[in-house]
Structure 1
Amino acid sequence: MSPIGRIFIVLNLVLSAVFLGFASNNLASSQDFKGQFEDKRDEHDQYRETKEVELGDLTAQIAQLESSSSSLREQRDGFKAEMDRLKTDYETERRRNNTLNADVSAIKETLANYDETNRQNVQRLEQANSAVAEATSAKRDAEDAKETALDAQRTADEQLTAASKSIVDLEIDRETLRKANANLDAQLQTLAEATGTKLADLMPMPLIDGAVLQVVALGNDMSLIAINKGEEHGVKRGFTFEIHRGSQYKGQARVENVQAGMCSAIVIRTVDGQTIGQGDLASTRL
């Protein structure tokens, strides 16, 4: 046999031994791997069973969660619908509240107007009551004044009646007095002419200056004047006053009646063209 054949035989033996070793090793490894595989398979089966149980639980939980989610979605939709309804109600209530606020403002303004009107009415009522009270008081005053006026009228009528009677009596006395004065004047004139004495010297008179207060026509060209001097000024019955206005002489009057602060005198002489009037000056001496 050639060396190359022996080499190939040896190489085949070596390779066979190597293969046998490798196969033995591989078989042992395969046996170990098989055991490991079976262990892993059992472990995997157990793990799968466990996971299947967990998966079943999870599936049940998912179903329950889906049911819960559906319920929650329904609740959510219900809540959303309720929220939309509440929003709508809120908007409606807000508009209603705005309307109510406007109505309240209008009512407040109306009440304020009512209060102002009521206050004005109270003031008018108070003014009316005051006016009624004033009118009532004025009515009472008018009634009192009317009664006083009636009393005064009755008194005036009585005084007028008495005055009319007095005037008649005075006219009778005046006529009698005029005749007596005329006789006295004639007698005094006769006495003065017989004795050559002035009439003023027969009755001494102090200087008394006054003024004519009133002139009363008695008729028959006779006048009675009132002078603002009387007994308290020294005036006596029979005194004569010279009547004048400034430098204008008007006539003479003789005192017939004397009172405390005034006297009345009969005009016994007047200057032609002159009229004795109120405000003329009267003096016992010029």
Structure 2
Amino acid sequence: MLVCAVAFVSAAYVYTEEAKNWKGDFEKMMADWKIPQPELRPGDKTIEQLNNEVAKLTQDLAKANEQREMHQKKADDALVTIGLRDTEIQKLRGEITELQTSEKRLKDDVASIKTELKNLRDENQRLATEKEQARKDKRAAEQAMRKAQDELAACQDDLNNYRNQVLGLKRDLKTSMDLNKRYDDVFGEEGKRLAEAAKGPQPKINGLVKQADNKAGIILISVGKGDGVGTGMTFEVVRGTRYVGEIRVTDVYDEEAVCRVVVAKTRIAIQEGDYVTTRLQ
């Protein structure tokens, strides 16, 4: 639109200048009497008409100049606006560049944070694995400790049993020593003779306890002379797999023999049905 206005103003200006030149030439020609007045032909314009047209063209030219100035002002304003806009555009471009730089920096920060987050997740996974392994190790250690405690308790029970057995054996030994002393006091030389007779190898003879008087220390067994039993022989008394005591033959009959208790376990009394043998396998 601005270009059209400028073109229109330029054309009007050229037309007005030509009209001014024509008017001057015409007036000069009329002032010179030597120049004959042209005869008007039908359709030709009179000087007044031409003057009117010139005046109108002058007015049009003035209007065109006003419009040209107005459009020029608008054009200048537009150029100023364009300049301001160029400045704003440059400023916006600078801001865009800064934003792009900030965006790149933020992207780098996001990438760094993602890397750190991945490292933290890996570390968390490793710690979780170690924690689970520690829990397993703890459970295994607790189980091992409970097992060790159970074994310790069992060992303590065994130790107590062994102590009780030792105490029992000590009591049995004391009882046997007391019985031996009593037998020595009762039998005297006869007891020594029986002990001497029991020396040497004994044949393998097995039998059972028929009667038992633990208070008196007298035991009756089911084997006698017919089985090869002799005075002074010793028999081991057992009940199942448990050792009960030791007895020595004092009197022998055909099918049975009377014995005295030599070694007895105080907590286990010899009773009818116990197994007796001259040799423990």
CA contact (8 A) 2:210 2:273 kept: yes
Partner Cα distance (1:109, 1:159) in 2: 72
CA contact (8 A) 1:226 1:264 kept: yes
Percent identical pairs in the alignment equals 7
Of residues 206, 221, 233, the one that matches 1:227 is 206
SS at match of 2:273: coil
Output aligned runs, 1:67-106, within 5 Å.
67-106=80-119
Which residue pairs with 2:224 in the alignment? 238
Q: Deviations over 1:203-242 (max 9, x none)?
A: xxxxxxxxxxxxx99644474855155559xx74536226
Residue identity matched to 2:206: I
SS at match of 1:240: helix
SS at match of 1:149: helix
Which residues of structure 2 form unaligned runs of 5+? 1-36, 212-220, 230-253, 260-271
Which residue pairs with 1:156 in the alignment? 169
Residue identity matched to 2:163: L
Rg larger for: 1
Residue identity matched to 1:227: N
Q: Which has the higher contact order (CA 8 A, sep 6+)?
A: 2
Q: Deviations over 1:247-267 (max 9, x none)?
A: xxxxxx9742594153457xx
Q: Deviations over 1:95-135 (max 9, x none)?
A: 22222222221121111111111222222223223333333
Partner Cα distance (2:206, 2:187) in 1: 20
Partner Cα distance (2:280, 2:163) in 1: 32
The structure whose residues are more often helix, as a share, is: 1
The TM-score, its normalising length taken from structure 1, stands at: 0.55
SS at match of 2:227: strand
Output aligned runs, 1:134-173, within 5 Å.
134-167=147-180
Of residues 76, 98, 108, the one that matches 1:63 is 76
The TM-score, its normalising length taken from structure 2, stands at: 0.56
Q: Deviations over 1:74-103 (max 9, x none)?
A: 111111111111111222222222222222
Number of residue-to-residue matches in the alignment: 199
Output aligned runs, 1:1-286, within 5 Å.
23-26=38-41, 29-31=44-46, 34-167=47-180, 176=190, 219-221=198-200, 223=202, 227-229=206-208, 231=210, 236=222, 238=224, 240-241=226-227, 255-257=256-258, 259-263=272-276
